[in-house]
Amino acid sequence: MRTMVRTRVTVNDVGFFLAQGQDVDELKGEIESAVRDGPRFVEFVVVGNRSVSVLVSTATQVVISVDTVQYDHRDNGDDSAPFGGTFDLL
C-alpha cells in the first residue's frame, strides 16, 4: 500500500488536515508571529484543496500532529481544483 504523511492542525478544538505540500515549519512560524505581533489571519490549504483562514491571537490554541495514511492522488494542495462532496462520489 502506498502511503503519505498527513498533518492535522487543530485550532480551538476544530481539526483540519493540511493538503500535501504545505510547509509545516512555515505555518508554525506564521502562527508564532501572529501570537507575538498581534492577531492576524493565517492561511493554509486543507485536504480537498480548500483554503482556510484562521484568526490567530494569544487566546488561540493550536495543536499540530503528524500521521502516515493511505496515499490520495487528489490531495495535491492545488486550491484551484478543490474536491470533495457529491460530485467526487461518482
Segment (H or E) for 45: strand 40-46
- Predicted TM-score (pTM) of the model is 0.77
> Which has the closest alpha carbon to 83: 45, 55, 57?
45
The label of the residue with cell 480548500 reads 50
Grid coordinates of 22: 504545505
pLDDT one-digit tens code per residue, 24-81: 999 999 999 999 999 999 999 998 888 999 999 999 999 999 999 888 877 776 777 6
- The answer to whether the CB of 49 falls within 8 A of the CB of 78 is yes
Q: How far apart are CA 22 and CA 39, in angstroms?
A: 22
